[in-house]
Structure 1
Amino acid sequence: MQAAVLYGKEDLRLETVDRPKAGPEEIVVRVGAALTCGTDLKVYRRGYHAMMLKPPIPFGHELAGTVVEAGEGAKFKIGDRVVALNSAPCDQCYWCMKGQQNLCEDLLFNNGAYAEYIRIPARIVAKNTLPVPENVPFEYAALTEPLACVIRGLEESHAKLGDSMVVIGAGPIGLMFMHAADIAGVEVIAVVKRDDQIETAKVFGARHVVQIADGVDAIAEVRKLTPGNRGVDIAIEAVATPMAWEWAVDMVRKGGTVNFFGGPPSGTKVQLDTNRLHYGDITLKASFHHTPATSRTAFELIKSGRFKCGEYITGRAGLADVPEIFRKMMVRSAEGVKDIKTAVFPEGVSC
């Protein structure tokens, strides 16, 4: 079969590899659709991910498809339509017992979505693979994984109806935060960089948009949009830069919550005003990954039709296009290209 294999920094190759086989309680899925992702782009740029993968390794982790082989004892059968998440916890370690399954010391990851077929390990089959109804396109179902991370971020930030929230960044994750927060009745302020992101942020629920530009004090502009310039209830950082982390702290009100969702490279340092943190009673959070529970919450939202899945799919391509897609993703921001997610169809581009 054909699969995209990551060998290192900006070295992604389409190769012929053996088709996987299902062991006990495992399944093999014919990939119906896989989605590009900001995390995949980050890994492609850096050449590795300390927790999720080390090259050479099959690449990609957002997918949905059809079961073509089921091992003995598997909970799905041949022909079932499924969305398989990219990890599953052990539910036995200290962190799992504390209800922090995303921090599981034996968190099992799975990669290889950019391929004709993918094997789903038994633990992921049992704990984090969900049936997809016939009326939900595979490319919509594949949005479950990133949305599950966002749902957990919102839950950890204790977002509730009537809150105000700033989202710094209008990439795929930032836009998901805007949309999910808007659905939850949160008033969203978006901080964006490019001209094309202004309208996109509004499509996904931002009521106000602040554009970064020379001479614009983004912190002051955000605070102006809150009563008495007090700042927002919740600040979400979705850029993964030190400056954005510092902005988030300065945009939130006293007693508010900051969620550092974007993950900068290891060793990155930021400078924060300890006086403001202490006397402002500000809560700092950093949300990572998802859990089986937030995966189910995310998928229910997708199935409900309330989530604008179609708006996220801004490109469609075949499997052979994957290496070139990532090369183009490296420069798309500089060129101002409106591109959120590309759906990859191993069986050919669906019209």
Structure 2
Amino acid sequence: MSAVRWYGPRDLRVEAVATPRPSAGEVLVRVERVGLCGSDLEEYREGPVSIPPDAIPLTLGHEVVGTVVACPGEEVAVGTRVIPDVVVGCRHCWWCDRNQEGLCPDLPVRGQQQDGGLAEYMLADARTTVVVPPAVELDVAAFAEPCAVAVRALRKAGDLTGAVVCIYGAGTVGLSVAQAALSSSAAAVVAVDPVASRRRLASDFGAIACSPDEAVTVIRDLTDGRGADVVLECAGVPQAPAAVELSRRGATIVLVGFRADRLVLPWLDVVLGERHLIGSAAHLWDEDVTAAVAMLARGTFNPRPLHTTTMPLTETPAAFQHLDQDPTVLKILIRP
């Protein structure tokens, strides 16, 4: 089969590799769509970030939807369209024993530490695949993973009733968070992004959209000068500490954005303002992915405006270049 293999920064190769064979408890999935993620882009630009040296070359791709073509244990019927769970965990540590695979110190993730879905076929655990309802379009189902990230981030934020919610970074995940927040009982949702096309999308969804330069004024006007009740940082950019400045004392700040280097936070404002800093990474198959698929099926999430283009597997290196160079691009789907 063909697969996209990562060898180093800006070194992706489409190669022929052996088709994997499922063991007991596994399924073999024929990959139909793979979304290119911001963390994939970090690996493309600066990796290895999460990729272990002994895993190189690695097949990237963790936003996957496909159809089961083999299942030795018959846990999932052949022909079923599924979202393969990619957060695997080591299966035996303190966190994995408590169904917290995302906190596993080893944290094997398909497409980051193990071979993923930028290939014609991939392996997944039968127990943790999430079935996609037949009525959900393929290009909609392909957004299940980023939507699951949004679901988890908002769960970390807590009750949004009457809250002014600020989303810093209106990329695919940020816009998914915005849609979910807008469907809640929040009083107002503000989306902050430097790219005008992303602000327009956020506004179309119903958010108050502004540039980073306008954000402080917009949020102070909404809150009588207090600051946002909840800030979700979804950009992972050097300006991410602005999330603290945009929040009120006692606010909750959920850090979702992914960045390889270190950031300096205004620690005194966090401590004296008793702000709550919470990290949110990945997702759990039985909580976040299942909820995301259900929300896609109901139309709570509408990912169609986030879909920039679909490209064949052979053009994946060009797709990464496109994603790297054009800030107006949101989600490129790969069609193996």
TM-score (norm 1): 0.87
Amino acid at match of 2:272: Y
Corresponding residue number in structure 2 for 1:225: 222
In structure 2, what is the Cα distance between the partners aligned to 1:98 and 1:87?
14
1:242-285: per-residue Cα shift (whole Å, max 9, x none)?
Answer: 422x211111112111112113224x1304141x3333221111
For the structure 1 residues 217 and 306, does the alpha-carbon distance in structure 2 shift closer, same or farther, using more than 3 Å as the test?
closer
C-alpha contact 2:179 2:300 (8 A) present in aligned 1: no
Corresponding residue number in structure 2 for 1:196: 197
Give 1:157 deviation, angstroms: 1.3
Corresponding residue number in structure 1 for 2:321: 327
4+ aligned runs moved over 6 Å, structure 1: none
Amino acid at match of 1:80: T
Q: Select 2:242's aligned residue among 235, 242, 247.
A: 247
Corresponding residue number in structure 2 for 1:295: 289
Give 1:158 deviation, angstroms: 0.8
In structure 2, what is the Cα distance between the partners aligned to 1:97 and 1:65?
28
Give 1:97 deviation, angstroms: 5.1
C-alpha contact 1:192 1:210 (8 A) present in aligned 2: yes
In structure 1, what is the Cα distance between the partners aligned to 2:235 and 2:16?
35
Write the mapping of 1:246-325 to structure 2, written as runs, cut at 5 A: 246-266=241-261, 268-274=262-268, 276-292=269-285, 293-325=287-319
In structure 1, what is the Cα distance between the partners aligned to 2:202 and 2:71?
42
C-alpha contact 2:4 2:12 (8 A) present in aligned 1: yes
Corresponding residue number in structure 2 for 1:38: 38
Give 1:99 deviation, angstroms: 6.0
Write the mapping of 1:1-351 to structure 2, written as runs, cut at 5 A: 1-50=1-50, 54-71=55-72, 73-89=73-89, 92-96=92-96, 100-111=100-111, 112-120=116-124, 124-126=125-127, 128-186=128-186, 187-206=188-207, 208-212=208-212, 216=213, 218-226=215-223, 228-244=224-240, 246-266=241-261, 268-274=262-268, 276-292=269-285, 293-333=287-327, 337=328, 339-346=329-336
C-alpha contact 1:237 1:261 (8 A) present in aligned 2: yes
C-alpha contact 1:161 1:184 (8 A) present in aligned 2: yes
Give 1:90 deviation, angstroms: 5.4
C-alpha contact 2:35 2:142 (8 A) present in aligned 1: yes
1:150-203: per-residue Cα shift (whole Å, max 9, x none)?
Answer: 211111111423211111111111111111111123221111102222211112
Give 1:78 deviation, angstroms: 1.7
C-alpha contact 1:24 1:74 (8 A) present in aligned 2: no
Moved more, 148-157 or 74-83: 74-83
Sequence identity percentage: 31
C-alpha contact 2:39 2:258 (8 A) present in aligned 1: no
Give 1:233 deviation, angstroms: 0.6
Give 1:105 deviation, angstroms: 3.3
SS at match of 2:191: strand
For the structure 1 residues 38 and 255, does the alpha-carbon distance in structure 2 shift closer, same or farther, using more than 3 Å as the test?
same
For the structure 1 residues 102 and 154, does the alpha-carbon distance in structure 2 shift closer, same or farther, using more than 3 Å as the test?
same
Runs of 5+ unmatched residues, structure 1: 347-351
Give 1:139 deviation, angstroms: 2.5
C-alpha contact 2:132 2:293 (8 A) present in aligned 1: no
Give 1:84 deviation, angstroms: 0.7
In structure 2, what is the Cα distance between the partners aligned to 1:219 and 1:25?
51
Amino acid at match of 1:113: G
In structure 2, what is the Cα distance between the partners aligned to 1:52 and 1:166?
35
Give 1:74 deviation, angstroms: 4.2
Figure out how many residues of one structure are paired with residues of the other and give that number. Answer: 329
SS at match of 1:94: coil
In structure 1, what is the Cα distance between the partners aligned to 2:293 and 2:214?
38
In structure 2, what is the Cα distance between the partners aligned to 1:66 and 1:277?
47
Amino acid at match of 1:309: P
In structure 2, what is the Cα distance between the partners aligned to 1:52 and 1:284?
28
SS at match of 1:109: coil
Give 1:232 deviation, angstroms: 0.8
For the structure 1 residues 140 and 250, does the alpha-carbon distance in structure 2 shift closer, same or farther, using more than 3 Å as the test?
same
SS at match of 2:319: helix
TM-score (norm 2): 0.91
C-alpha contact 2:193 2:210 (8 A) present in aligned 1: yes
SS at match of 1:65: strand
Give 1:91 deviation, angstroms: 6.0
Amino acid at match of 2:279: A
Runs of 5+ unmatched residues, structure 2: none
C-alpha contact 2:42 2:260 (8 A) present in aligned 1: no
